[in-house]
């Protein structure tokens, strides 16, 4: 009898210890939320008090926000290629939006983030804009994904059939230069981003996902054209809209001419001449508020799901956006408003609720950090970013790193905790001190007092810019102008 009790006890203990080690070995799931063109006007980054993002703030309260996070490139395509491969644009040669990822030999031979998790036994699924379109076509068919919505040959739910009240504020001058409320019949559930979010919510709430899983949801707004249901426009009455605090009429007077060659952008001029500046800001704010609601819905679904306690959340925006600052309406520049991004992490057992880190980090760091958090061995010799787990555990930990944004051949923007250094292909420079100049109004590059700062920052730049086997021909400025003209 005694023996039987002991055997039962032993078996029970064995089972318990088995369950324990199983729980310990259980890899965490990943909820990967991408937002397109969302700049630092969000309430978590305090870029502009007009933006309302309570759900993003609530998410930040659950984990850590990196307040000095920047993109690897200030354009959708190269930024996302860098995130998904862990490789800098200056290493891969993938500098511009139209370069296809698989036609770049370096990126094509890399293990992309979804493939990495698939190879490590994860079920990999996603919806919406995670790559820049070209990953979901007949040729690539969503390489690395077990499941994609709407399909492996289409990443964004169709805009077709949505009756937008499209007035083309700039008279059809450029396809994307449009904003305004959707037709009154269109609800959030009909909006492409609502459809993407609903797919993610359903997959989480069904509770039937094979674990561990990687689930990606890519939200397209507030990328232009800025369409959202009327209720979101109502939250930002036009008469209350303020022009950006960071705008200064003569701001470009001390900036080298090279910036214009790199990022020629006449949109703000057009917007101002047609008296559309405030309506355009209103639309960006409306779409940001809509995106914020969707973030709340997706995170809320995770919390109600069986996966809540064992899922890492990472939310990122692919680059920033200038709403008039430095005379520009757009991305495609190396200034703070275009490079600074939202980067929020919730990692159970690693991050502490409601923390922020001011250390300079990059979207390139997502891949190595996810590998580290999940205990998966990263691909050898591929990743150029940093593992952020030390900062997650101690947001003020020593960190001797700077962070780099690449835009086109030999144009670099480098951010330390205090300074931004920019150098263009022709060798001209800018330097800003964020301790005293958050809007980057005063270019200190020619001030001899900062020679040492510049020298140190220059040493952090890539030394090769023309990858082997990759041909990159920088577009000539007059070709770009001709292209812009033909679109008018």
For CA atoms 338, 407, 249, 271, give the dihedral sign. Answer: negative
Q: Is 251 a residue that touches Ca ion (CB under 5 A)?
A: yes
Q: How far is the CB of 120 from Ca ion (least distance, A)?
A: 28
Name the E strands within 52-120: 64-66, 69-70
**What tokens were used for 328?**
């520009």
Residue 37 touching Ca ion (CB under 5 A): yes
> How many Å apart are CA 17 and CA 164, to the nearest integer?
59
The least CB distance from residue 39 to Ca ion, in Å, is 10
Rounded Cα distance, 21 and 147, in Å: 30
Choice between 40 and 307, CB closer to Ca ion: 40
| Residue 254 is a binding residue for Ca ion (CB under 5 A) | yes
Q: Is 336 in the site for Ca ion (CB under 5 A)?
A: no
Rounded least distance, CB 71 to Ca ion, Å: 9
Q: Considering beta carbons, is residue 441 or 472 the nearer one to Ca ion? A: 441
Determine the residue with CB nearest Ca ion.
76
Residue 36 or 429 with smaller CB distance to Ca ion: 36
* Closer residue to Ca ion, CB minimum distance, 37 or 293: 37
Report if residue 396 touches Ca ion, rule: CB under 5 A: no
CB of 75 to Ca ion, least distance (A): 7
Does residue 193 interact with Ca ion by CB under 5 A?
Answer: no
- For the CA atoms of 72, 78, 80, 86, the dihedral, rounded to the nearest 10 degrees, stands at -60
Q: Judged by CB under 5 A, which stretch of 2-10, 34-42, 343-351, 471-479 contacts Ca ion?
A: 34-42
Q: Using CB under 5 A as the criterion, what x/- string covers residues 65-84 for binding Ca ion?
A: -----------x--------
The token pair that represents 298 in the structure block:
């997706």
Q: Exactly one of 155, 178, 193, 318 binds Ca ion (CB under 5 A); which one?
A: 318
Axis-axis angle for helices 76-85, 366-374 (nearest 10): 30
Q: What is the DSSP string of 106-136?
A: HHHTS--HHHHHHHTT-EEEEEESSS-STTS
Instruction: State the sign of the Cα–Cα–Cα–Cα dihedral 357, 359, 364, 365.
Output: negative
Catalytic residue numbers read: 76, 132
**Residues β-bridged to residue 149:** 127
Q: Which residues pair with 344 in a beta bridge?
A: 65, 315
Dihedral angle over CA of 187, 188, 193, 197, nearest 10:
-130
242 touches Ca ion (CB under 5 A): no
Q: Which stretch binds Ca ion (CB under 5 A): 234-242, 287-295, 368-376, 436-444?
A: 436-444
Closest CA relative to residue 41, chosen from 407, 292, 359, 415: 292
**Least distance in Å: CB of 202 to Ca ion?**
26
Residues that bind Ca ion (CB under 5 A): 36-37, 76, 251, 254, 318, 441
């Amino acid at each position: 009898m005694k023996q039987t009790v002991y055997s039962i006890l032993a078996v029970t203990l064995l089972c318990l210890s088995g369950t324990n080690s199983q729980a310990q070995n259980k890899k965490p799931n990943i909820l990967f939320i991408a937002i397109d063109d969302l700049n630092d006007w969000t309430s978590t980054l305090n870029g502009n008090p007009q933006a309302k993002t309570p759900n993003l703030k609530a998410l930040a309260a659950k984990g850590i926000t990196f307040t000095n996070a920047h993109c690897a490139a200030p354009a959708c395509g190269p930024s996302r290629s860098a995130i998904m491969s862990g490789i800098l644009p200056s290493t891969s040669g993938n500098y511009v939006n139209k370069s296809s990822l698989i036609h770049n030999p370096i990126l094509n031979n890399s293990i992309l983030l979804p493939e990495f998790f698939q190879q490590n036994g994860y079920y990999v699924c996603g919806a919406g804009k995670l790559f820049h379109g070209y990953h979901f076509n007949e040729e690539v068919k969503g390489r690395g994904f077990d499941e994609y919505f709407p399909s492996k040959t289409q990443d964004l739910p169709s805009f077709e059939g949505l009756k937008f009240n499209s007035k083309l504020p700039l008279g059809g001058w450029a396809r994307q230069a449009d904003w305004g409320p959707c037709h009154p019949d269109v609800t959030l559930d009909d909006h492409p981003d609502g459809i993407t979010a609903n797919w993610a919510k359903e997959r989480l709430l069904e509770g039937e996902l094979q674990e561990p899983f990687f689930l990606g949801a890519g939200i397209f707004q507030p990328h232009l054209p800025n369409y959202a249901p009327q209720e979101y426009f109502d939250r930002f009455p036009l008469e209350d809209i303020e022009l950006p605090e960071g705008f200064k009429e003569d701001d470009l007077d001390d900036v080298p001419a090279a910036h214009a060659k790199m990022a020629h952008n006449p949109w703000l001029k057009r917007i101002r001449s047609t008296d559309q500046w405030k309506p355009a800001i209103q639309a960006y704010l409306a779409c940001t508020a809509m995106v914020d609601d969707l973030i709340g819905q997706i995170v809320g679904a995770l919390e109600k799901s069986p996966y809540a306690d064992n899922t890492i959340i990472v939310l990122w925006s692919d680059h920033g956006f200038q709403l008039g600052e430095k005379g520009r309406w757009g991305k495609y520049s190396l200034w703070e408003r275009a490079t600074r991004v939202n980067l929020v992490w919730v990692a159970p057992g690693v991050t502490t609720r409601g923390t922020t880190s001011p250390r300079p980090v990059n979207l390139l760091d997502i891949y190595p950090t996810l590998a580290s958090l999940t205990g998966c061995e990263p691909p050898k010799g591929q990743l150029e970013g940093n593992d952020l787990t030390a900062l997650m555990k101690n947001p003020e930990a020593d960190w001797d790193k700077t962070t780099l944004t690449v835009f086109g051949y030999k144009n670099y923007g480098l951010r330390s905790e205090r300074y931004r250094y920019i150098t263009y292909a022709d060798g001209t420079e800018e330097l800003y001190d964020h301790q005293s100049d958050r809007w980057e109004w005063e270019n200190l590059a020619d001030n001899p007092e900062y020679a040492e700062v510049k020298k140190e920052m220059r040493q952090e730049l890539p030394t090769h810019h023309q990858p082997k086997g990759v041909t990159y021909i920088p577009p000539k400025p007059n070709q770009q102008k001709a292209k812009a003209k033909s679109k008018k």
